[in-house]
Amino acid sequence: MFINKNELEFSEWWNKIIFEGGLADNRYKIKGLFVWMPYGFSLMKMVKKNWDNLFEQNNISELYFPLFVPQEYAKQNESWWNSFKEQAFYVLGYFDNEKKVFLRPTGEPAMYPMFSLWIRSHRDLPLRVYETVSSFRNETKSTKTFVRDVEIGPWYEIHTVHSTREEAEAEIELGIKMNDIIFDNLAVSRLKVRKPIQDCFPGSVGAIEFYTLLNDKLVENASCNNLGQAYAKAFNIKFFDENEKEQFAWQTCTGNGERFLSAIIGNHSDDKGLVLPPVVAPIQVAIIPIKISVDEINKLNLDFSNLRVKEFPVGKSIGDVRYKTEKMGIPLRIEIGPNEISEKKAVLIWRNGKKESCLFSDLNKVVVTGLDNFQKDLRLASENEMIKRIKICDNKIDAKKADIAIIGWCGSAECSDWLQTDLEKELIGMTLEKKKVKCLHCEKDGEATYFSKSY
Ligand SMILES: [Zn+2]
């Protein structure tokens, strides 16, 4: 994991890693927008496959809503509107200028007025859908590719509607489980927190959020929001229950997207470039012919079944090719030349520097096992880094020193303001365990809460 306390230097490194690794080109002339390069987009697609499969397995149907949202929809939910109206992009030149229209910053105001038309009876519930889209926010903060962008996409958002509170709560648990599976495949450790109500998604009644490491800070990465009945009331989403009594529905929404890439890059890259976890790496193995042609390698009929392999012909310099595969973060490089052919052996050089050789006949087995271990090692390193940073603190001096401090907080806004200023950290959220601890500021009853710098 690359860490640089100097934010400017970290930013330079971040941009260089992404550009030289072939993920994105951010020289596009609008701040906060970038071009997805083919290699970056294939990595994103590998991650996206994770969520498409998971959602399909769990019977959540994919659909697609328009990018344009009429203001009259959004204004139905005052708290949503007040939170996003400053960040929204308004559409000029729309043929019906009376109808003010903006680009969606999130999906709720586009979807929920339609939900209210679709849902009539308890038999229409649960409604469980998702879309993968771009969202647009006019960012006033400084932008960072894959972390804070003006066009956020691909971004998945699951929206569910239920007849009971319990069903909605079970949906949140499922959302947590599915995000956990995705993060496992990225070999990334994460902190799960309960958001204090004042920091939740506008109008919601609770949220579980995921945070991952980035430099010396944390970054919010996926959130599962319990919307209670607030949105149903605002958007008039009602149903007749089994007793023909009309009731407001219970809702949840869960989302994340390109920030998964920030988790991969932030956790695994080093000063040489990207390091991609094998489960989602678009190319798991780079084959490099040394002083022979790609054809000669193909004639060896090596067994690469169930592996994502790509040949990298050597041009002028073998060094350049090695360097390139390192920057792309390909987990394994296999080099084969005349010597290897005569000995029927391949040289395996892993992205973490480990080197070994193996017989052509054992190649598939050795590579598959090696990739599995590579994934586990990345995961372990990421877990250790997270554990190393978290400190349970009972005084402000220690809490200020810690990267991620767990301290008691009573829940009051006044104390969180004081604590954030004194500790030079932000309130991240309460622990899932709901552990009782006295507030570090006012000493009243409180609970264990994470404080850390964050993006
Ligand atoms: Zn307090």
What is the CB-side half-sphere exposure of residue 98 using CA atoms within 13 A? Answer: 0
As a whole number of Å, the end-to-end CA separation of the chain is 17
State in Å: Cα 420 to ligand 1 middle.
Answer: 12
pLDDT of residue 97: 63
State in Å: Cα 418 to ligand 1 middle.
Answer: 9
Q: What CATH number did the domain enclosing 315 receive?
A: 3.40.50.800
Residue 396 lies in a domain: yes
pLDDT digit string (tens) for 146-184? 999 999 989 999 999 999 999 999 999 999 999 999 999
State in Å: Cα 396 to ligand 1 middle.
Answer: 13
Give the C-alpha separation, 449 to 196, whole Å. 10
Give the C-alpha separation, 331 to 282, whole Å. 10
State in Å: Cα 230 to ligand 1 middle.
Answer: 28
Burial group, residue 9, by CB count within 10 angstroms (0-12, 13-18, 19+):
exposed
pLDDT of residue 96: 67
Buried b vs exposed e over 62-101: b needs ≥16 C-beta within 10 Å? Answer: eeebeeebbeebbebbeebbeebeeebeebeeeeeeeeeb
For the beta carbon of residue 262, count every other beta carbon within 10 angstroms.
23
State in Å: Cα 438 to ligand 1 middle.
Answer: 8
**Residue keyed to tokens 């009853």:** 445
Tell me which of 170 and 202 has the higher pLDDT.
170
Q: What CATH number did the domain enclosing 404 receive?
A: 3.30.110.30
Both 420 and 317 in a single domain?
no
Both 248 and 337 in a single domain?
no
pLDDT digit string (tens) for 67-118? 999 988 888 888 888 888 889 999 887 776 666 899 999 999 999 999 999 9
State in Å: Cα 23 to ligand 1 middle.
Answer: 45
**For residues 333-354, average pLDDT:** 96
Both 262 and 292 in a single domain?
no
Q: What CATH number did the domain enclosing 221 receive?
A: 3.30.930.10
Question: Residue 31's pLDDT band (boundaries 50, 70, 90)?
Answer: confident
List, in sequence order, every residue forming a beta bridge with 246; answer none if it has no partner.
240
Q: What does residue 191 show for φ and ψ, rounded to 5 degrees?
A: -105, 130
State in Å: Cα 199 to ligand 1 middle.
Answer: 17
State in Å: Cα 422 to ligand 1 middle.
Answer: 13
Residue 115 lies in a domain: yes
**For residues 204-225, average pLDDT:** 95
**For residues 301-323, average pLDDT:** 94
The contacts of residue 59 (CB under 8 Å, 6+ apart) are 128
State in Å: Cα 439 to ligand 1 middle.
Answer: 5
Considering the chain, what is the average pLDDT of its residues? 95
State in Å: Cα 391 to ligand 1 middle.
Answer: 20
What is the CB-side half-sphere exposure of residue 190 using CA atoms within 13 A? Answer: 30
State in Å: Cα 381 to ligand 1 middle.
Answer: 35
Q: Which of 190, 177, 172 is nearest to 259 (CA)?
A: 190
State in Å: Cα 269 to ligand 1 middle.
Answer: 39
Both 159 and 224 in a single domain?
yes
Statement: residue 59 has pLDDT above 80: yes
State in Å: Cα 437 to ligand 1 middle.
Answer: 11
Q: Which two tokens stand for residue 97?
A: 């200028």
Give the C-alpha separation, 364 to 384, whole Å. 30
Residue 264 lies in a domain: yes
User: Which residue segment(s) compose the domain that 313 sits in?
Assistant: 285-370
Statement: residue 140 has pLDDT above 80: no
State in Å: Cα 222 to ligand 1 middle.
Answer: 28
State in Å: Cα 87 to ligand 1 middle.
Answer: 32
pLDDT of residue 312: 95
Both 360 and 411 in a single domain?
no
Q: Which of 252, 203, 254, 198 is nearest to 78 (CA)?
A: 203
State in Å: Cα 304 to ligand 1 middle.
Answer: 60
Both 191 and 59 in a single domain?
yes
pLDDT of residue 74: 87
Length of the chain: 455
**For residues 254-279, average pLDDT:** 97
State in Å: Cα 194 to ligand 1 middle.
Answer: 18
Q: Which of 193, 264, 265, 258 is nearest to 224 (CA)?
A: 193
What torsion do the CA atoms of 134, 137, 138, 140 make, to the nearest 10 degrees? -120
Domain stops at, among 338, 370, 402: 370
- pTM score, whole prediction: 0.95
Q: Which two tokens stand for residue 286?
A: 């780079």
Both 446 and 303 in a single domain?
no
Burial group, residue 355, by CB count within 10 angstroms (0-12, 13-18, 19+):
exposed
State in Å: Cα 228 to ligand 1 middle.
Answer: 27
**Residue keyed to tokens 């072939």:** 22
DSSP assignment letter at 407: E
State in Å: Cα 216 to ligand 1 middle.
Answer: 27
State in Å: Cα 387 to ligand 1 middle.
Answer: 26
Both 117 and 49 in a single domain?
yes
Question: Residue 14's pLDDT band (boundaries 50, 70, 90)?
Answer: very high
Residue 240 lies in a domain: yes
Q: Which of 276, 258, 334 is nearest to 303 (CA)?
A: 334
Both 305 and 441 in a single domain?
no
Lowest-confidence segment of 14-18, 89-93, 179-183, 290-294 by average pLDDT: 89-93
**Which amino acid, one-letter code, is at 271?**
D
List, in sequence order, every residue forming a beta bridge with 204; answer none if it has no partner.
none
Buried b vs exposed e over 110-121: b needs ≥16 C-beta within 10 Å? Answer: bbbbebbeebee
Both 324 and 443 in a single domain?
no
Residue 279 lies in a domain: no
Percent over 70 (pLDDT), the chain: 99
Residue 216 lies in a domain: yes
**For residues 434-445, average pLDDT:** 96
Both 316 and 174 in a single domain?
no
State in Å: Cα 408 to ligand 1 middle.
Answer: 8
Residue 199 lies in a domain: yes
Domain stops at, among 370, 402, 428: 370
CA 179 to chain centre: 9
State in Å: Cα 450 to ligand 1 middle.
Answer: 14
State in Å: Cα 447 to ligand 1 middle.
Answer: 10
Both 40 and 143 in a single domain?
yes
State in Å: Cα 415 to ligand 1 middle.
Answer: 5
Residue 138 lies in a domain: yes
**Residue keyed to tokens 């271990």:** 373
174 neighbors 411 (Cβ within 8 angstroms): no
Q: Which of 320, 337, 275 is nearest to 1 (CA)?
A: 275
Domain count, the chain: 3
State in Å: Cα 446 to ligand 1 middle.
Answer: 7
